[in-house]
A and B are shown apart, each in its own frame.
Chain A
Amino acid sequence: MIPNWLLTGWHYCSALAAIVILLLLARHLFQPPDDTEPEPVNHEDH
């Protein structure tokens, strides 16, 4: 039998994992589109 404290800890971890994943997903979905053009590379400098 699994002890209750372990199940409780697991349940809190699951809530934490859900919050972290949903925040990461929200950050990705609502970030502004990246419209910036890459700067041209001057090969002579290298």
Chain B
Amino acid sequence: MLDFDRVTELAALGIYLVVLIWIGVKSSGKIRNTLDYTVSGRDVAWIVVLATTAATMVGGGASIGSVANVYNYGIALALLSTAWYLQLIFTGIWLAPRLRRLDLLTVAQFFGLRFGEAPRRMAVVSCMIFLIGALVAQMVAMGKITETVLGLDYRLAVLAGASIVIFYSTVGGIRAVVKTDVLQFVVLVIGIGAASFFLLQRNGGFTGIMAVTGDQPFQLTSAEWPATRLITTFFVFFLGEMLVPPYAVRCFIARNAQSAQWGVAGSGLFLLCFMPICIFVLGASANVDPKIKQAIDEQRVEAGLDEADSQMVFPTLMRETFPAAFAGILIAALIAAVMSSGDSCLSCISTSVMEDIYRSMIDPEASDKKLLNVARIATVASGVLAAALSCLYSDIISILEFVYDFWAPTMVIPFLVGLFMYRKRWSLAITLAMAAGFIAVVVWRFLLDTPWKFSPGLFGFLVSLAVFILAIVLIELRQDPANPVATEKELS
């Protein structure tokens, strides 16, 4: 039997989900061609780019995952999340305008344009590994939150959440994804902002929190998180998501280069200012109230865990602190965070299948209508595949570690070289660096079982960098001085 509070929570969540479906249906009328479906006609204003980028950035890990980390380990874990936001600022200021000017649809197109067919194909593989892995992780998060919070069966929760995301992404493409992201951004900011402000006032400010918890949550390092671990994880976070397709697409959809720059850098700046401190207040507040602490501990013991799991802290804090209707909105905000990251991955997969696989390799002469159908079929197929995989693999952290490990070693150096110091004759060096990074991660992670717990992603990135430098030294030594150098200007 459901009590009144649970019905109120479900009603708040239900209204929110109906609005998402309505946005999807409304957006479908504005899809006239593949450009509308994949890059929203490249007409998105900077403030909307900011909202959609921020909503995509704040997924399950940056919201509930970070709150649980702060609850377990203190402020250092909130400060660690600044790596994600600084990465967005870096991307926005220096990379976004350059990417927007190239009028691309996918990340792999950039590799084809700059370095040729082999790097393009490797980029398609890297993008697919990242996008499918990230989509599965978000669907797992969606299922687990709904299971924990609403008491639904995990598979039923995945099925319900995935169906809604697949529906609006298929009918409305990136237009629906951007509009739902704006709604999700507003719900997230109001929900997290209001909750943290209320909790800080109630607990008597940071001094009041410290009086109850002691200075442990305020310490920058701890036995579990010494400075070395914090610094290496910071770089893994910074590089692990750099220019991943969901952010790159936010550059492609902007109205112009300046909108891309302001939107992406603005989202990083806003999140840097907003998220770490709010997340710290929420995580620390959960440590203040003995009733909340006891409720979390009971769940932890029941689950047989050493530390509080990510999906326990935030919902328990909300339920114990706020009235049911507001708690329902905040729980909707959590699901919004996860959905907005999942739908972006889904949209990028469909664009990549349409452009990088179907049009480039199968039918270069395909009509726009046919390509649009391919993109829609790809959205449904990849969504169903990810939902099925999320029932088989449900460990979010290991899935995310896997995708992070493969992204930076294969993609970051070619991206930076292609944007800042492009030389046509370095294409072979890029191909070798991408291959070396990939092989290094496989060997370090799977064959050597991650020695000294040194991140495979960081190891692969360093190997890739070393191979690239060695290769360009050899290329430059063999270079005929009479051969002209292709500059970025010549290429564009």
A contact residues vs B (CB 8 Å cutoff)? 1-2, 4, 7-8, 10-11, 13-15, 17-18, 21-22, 24-25, 28-29
The 3 closest A-B pairs by CB, nearest first: A4-B206, A14-B274, A17-B273
Number of chain B residues whose Cβ lies closer than 8 Å to a Cβ of chain A: 30
Flag if A11 contacts B190 (CB, 8 Å).
no
Q: A4-B210, A8-B205, A17-B270 are contacts. A22–B220 as well, Cβ < 8 Å? A: no
Flag if B47 contacts A10 (CB, 8 Å).
no
Flag if A1 contacts B219 (CB, 8 Å).
yes
Nearest to B189 among chain A residues (CB) is: A18
Give bound CA distance, A1 to B218, whole Å. 6
Q: Does B50 contact A (CB under 8 A)?
A: yes
The stretch of B193-201, B336-344, B347-355, B358-366 in contact with A is B193-201
14 residue pairs from A and B, CB less than 8 Å apart: A1-B218, A2-B218, A2-B220, A4-B205, A4-B207, A4-B210, A7-B280, A14-B273, A14-B277, A17-B274, A18-B193, A18-B270, A21-B51, A22-B186
Flag if B270 contacts A25 (CB, 8 Å).
no
Nearest to B219 among chain A residues (CB) is: A1
Give bound CA distance, A25 to B312, whole Å. 32
Flag if A29 contacts B182 (CB, 8 Å).
yes
Nearest to A5 among chain B residues (CB) is: B206
Q: Which residues of A contact B193 (CB under 8 A)?
A: 14-15, 18
Give bound CA distance, A46 to B186, whole Å. 47
Flag if B48 contacts A28 (CB, 8 Å).
yes
Q: Does B45 contact A (CB under 8 A)?
A: yes
Q: A8-B205, A28-B47 are contacts. A22–B190 as well, Cβ < 8 Å? A: yes
Within 8 A of A (CB), among B371-406: none
Q: Does B281 contact A (CB under 8 A)?
A: yes
Flag if A11 contacts B277 (CB, 8 Å).
yes
Q: Which residues of B contact A11 (CB under 8 A)?
A: 196-197, 200, 277-278, 281
Nearest to A4 among chain B residues (CB) is: B206
Give bound CA distance, A21 to B281, whole Å. 21
Out of B189, B207, B218, B280, which one reaches A22, CB within 8 Å?
Answer: B189
Q: Which residues of B contact A8 (CB under 8 A)?
A: 205-206
Q: Which residues of B contact A14 (CB under 8 A)?
A: 193, 196, 273-274, 277-278
Q: Does B433 contact A (CB under 8 A)?
A: no
Flag if B45 contacts A18 (CB, 8 Å).
no
Give bound CA distance, A22 to B281, whole Å. 21
Give bound CA distance, A45 to B113, whole Å. 43
Q: Which residues of B contact A13 (CB under 8 A)?
A: 273
Flag if B45 contacts A21 (CB, 8 Å).
no
Q: A1-B219, A11-B196 are contacts. A25–B207 as well, Cβ < 8 Å? A: no
Q: A4-B206, A8-B206, A14-B278 are contacts. A21–B218 as well, Cβ < 8 Å? A: no
Q: Does B139 contact A (CB under 8 A)?
A: no
Q: Which residues of B contact A21 (CB under 8 A)?
A: 47, 50-51, 189, 270
Nearest to B192 among chain A residues (CB) is: A18
Give bound CA distance, A11 to B199, whole Å. 12
Give bound CA distance, A17 to B278, whole Å. 12
Q: Which residues of A contact B281 (CB under 8 A)?
A: 11
Q: Which residues of A contact B277 (CB under 8 A)?
A: 7, 10-11, 14
What is the CB-to-nearest-CB distance from B52 to chain A, in angstroms, rounded to a whole number? 11
Q: Does B320 contact A (CB under 8 A)?
A: no
Q: Which residues of B contact A7 (CB under 8 A)?
A: 206, 277, 280
Give bound CA distance, A17 to B189, whole Å. 10
Nearest to A13 among chain B residues (CB) is: B273
Give bound CA distance, A10 to B197, whole Å. 12
Give bound CA distance, A4 to B280, whole Å. 13
